[in-house]
Amino acid sequence: MEKVPFMDLEAQFKSLERQLRAAIEETLQSRAFIKGPAVERFNKNFLKLHGGRFGTGCSNGTSAITVALRALGVGAGDEVLVPNHTFFGTLEPVVEVGAKPVLIEIDPEYHQIDLQDAARRLTPKTKAIIPVHLYGLPEPMDEIMAFARTHSLKVIEDCAQAHLAKWKGQPVGTFGDIATFSFYPGKNLGAYGDAGFILTQDEKLFDFVNRYIDHGRRDKYLHEFFGGNFRMDGMQGAILDAKLAKMTEWTKRRRELAKAYDERLKDFSKLKPRAEAEAVYHLYVVEVANRDQVMAHFKAAGIGCGVHYPVTMNCQPAMAQFGYMAGQFAVSEKFCSRILSLPFFPEMTLEQMNFTVTEFLKVAKS
């Protein structure tokens, strides 16, 4: 067994075992396997904790973006701006709805959306932009909203890694037209299967979303339009609601651990939230010049790690059909070749961190 796992879902389960078993038992008793009272309770409680007016659980974080694009009327003939440095699930839905993803470069300091680059890639077909609060580090939402307003773009915030994060005191996901979340098991709030959330401040959009995710229906057998099945399972709702009780504590702990890493890794470039951001640190990412060597050393020492993400969107084989290829995005491609995600989870002990840092410093070059 690894001395320091990359993340520890077993420790998390043990810290909430009684409540999680009760949640599963509740689902078995109620037999509300799809949507139902536990999902409704979770919807209310997640909105209350994160902030925002209207929201609903759904099937996962990728389909949440598909639904958001549909709700905003994005489809064939439209172009959507997406950061080149993100998880593939951010841009896949753009293609799913028949639109064209247009990649934008990241800035070299914060590794977030470069709005000057975005401006250069605008065309009369550009319909929307998807800022991603990657790693739980909020994007500068007032600048992005000003850019979107100037160019009449819809905004979908991908909050898959940013539950409870804030920009200038306001919850992420409440700036744009619609926001999406993922509860993939390893996310800051994780289900025991696939699950996601769609958030909006607009009641009309919410009404569309609610029907779209459930076969476009208002009544059981009355379908007003063609939607699909993007609902949340009752079991996931019950499990997520039980986990919500710990979210504030887990988020606080993530911030403390990130600070502790920062202090120990002074000579390296690391994740850096902007001054106005309240980050929630989904991952702890550091830049190294000799990543393969560090990863091999970690493996031998029994330390888990990962790379999020090793291949930029322009280098993905699936993106070749849109004319993208390696060598087109200098900043993000260089960044991707240097990043390493260190072990990071709320239950991590300082002993585990100290061991990780000691082994890291033995081989890592900045």
How far is 342 from 258, CA to CA, in rounded Å? 10
Residue from 69, 104, 118, 160 in contact with ligand PLP (CB under 6 A) = 160
182: which strand partners?
A: 196
349 exposure class (CB count in 10 Å sphere: 0-12, 13-18, 19+): exposed
Applying CB under 6 A, the span of 154-162, 210-218, 253-261, 270-278 interacting with ligand PLP comes to 154-162
Q: What's the angle, vertex CA 161, arms to CA 156 and CA 167, rounded to 5?
A: 65
SS3 label, residue 131: coil
Residues in the chain: 366
Contact in structure between 184 and 156 (CB atoms under 8 Å): no
Which DSSP letter does residue 233 get?
Answer: B
User: Which run of H or E residues covers position 339?
Assistant: strand 339-342
If phi over 0 gives left and psi between -120 and 50 gives alpha, with beta otherwise, what is residue 305?
A: beta
Residue from 60, 174, 312, 356 in contact with ligand PLP (CB under 6 A) = 60
Residue from 89, 138, 140, 237 in contact with ligand PLP (CB under 6 A) = 89
Tokens of 14: 């043990």
Judged by CB, which is closer to ligand PLP: 309, or 355?
Answer: 309
Q: Output the smallest distance, CB 94 to ligand PLP, in A.
A: 12
Residue from 87, 206, 230, 261 in contact with ligand PLP (CB under 6 A) = 87
Q: Does 112 bind ligand PLP (CB under 6 A)?
A: no
Tokens of 364: 């890592």
Per-residue string for binding with ligand PLP, 163-192, x by CB under 6 A?
-------------------x-x--------
Q: Which amino acid is at 168?
A: K
Q: Output the smallest distance, CB 308 to ligand PLP, in A.
A: 8
Residue from 61, 131, 173, 306 in contact with ligand PLP (CB under 6 A) = 61
Per-residue string for binding with ligand PLP, 120-139, x by CB under 6 A?
------------x-x-----
Q: Does 196 bind ligand PLP (CB under 6 A)?
A: yes
Q: Does 161 bind ligand PLP (CB under 6 A)?
A: yes
Applying CB under 6 A, the span of 46-54, 87-95, 327-335, 338-346 interacting with ligand PLP comes to 87-95
